[in-house]
Amino acid sequence: MSNPLKIAVLVSGSGSNLQVMIDGMQAGRLPIQIVGVISNNADAYANTRTMQAGIELALLSHTQSGKRMSIATFEKHALAQIQDWSPDLVVLAGFMRVLSADFIASVPCPIINLHPSLLPHYKGLNTHARVLASGERYHGCSVHLVTAQLDAGKVLTQANLATHAGETADRLAKRVQRLEHQLVPLTLTMMASGLIDAANTSNSQIDLPLRLWFD
């Protein structure tokens, strides 16, 4: 596509994958335009990354009375903000709240999520420790479409690595995070070029999921 892919990003934490997107956009390596970031955590370092990059930040963590926003209140304001930005894609990058089926259905573009496992295996939290406890030989991360079912949407891309005997969950998490920083920009590039059609995956020009292997 000739125009950059317009992206809105939802974050809750440090925002390392957000930073990868920002760096790629600013360097001209990624054909994307981050039109805005929505954060549900006032203390998230992703907020700082967003403001340092000069990107619009919508902080939706507390109500005017000072109470933490309910998911319904968050979704109401987040949906209005997304509709105002009119992105081509919403990216969940370390966003740590489960979104409702109504919200997902109301967002006027595809939503993708980065999950730290080889889906459909190890949905949910604490994936690295669970993989090690199960004695799995392989682990990795997946980019998938967001649906009403947790971590159950169509998998678009995966990055795989071999687990190491005796490694800790923290060590494995760091190795998987390095894969994430490669998989996210690759996936976005393929979406921007039309190789992956998130709105209708049957129109994609490559077989999905695309699986990549790393040491």
**Residue positions forming the annotated binding site for (6R)-10-formyltetrahydrofolate:** 68, 113
Q: At 195, is the secondary structure helix, strand, or coil? A: coil
Does the active-site annotation cover 121? no
In three-state form (DSSP H/G/I as H, E/B as E, the rest C), the secondary structure along 82-146 is HHHHCCCEEEECCCCCCCCHHHHHHCCCCEEEEECCCCCCCCCCCHHHHHHHCCCCEEEEEEEEC
Q: Return d(Cα 99, Cα 74) in angstroms, integer.
A: 10
Q: Return d(Cα 187, Cα 157) in angstroms, integer.
A: 7
For residue 169, report the phi and psi dihedrals to the nearest 5 degrees: -60, -40
Say which of 115, 128, 139, 144 is annotated catalytic: 115
Chain center to CA of 136: 24
For residue 42, report the phi and psi dihedrals to the nearest 5 degrees: -65, -25
CB atoms within 10 A of CB 44: 23
Q: Residues comprising the binding site? A: 15-17, 68, 113
Active site residues: 115
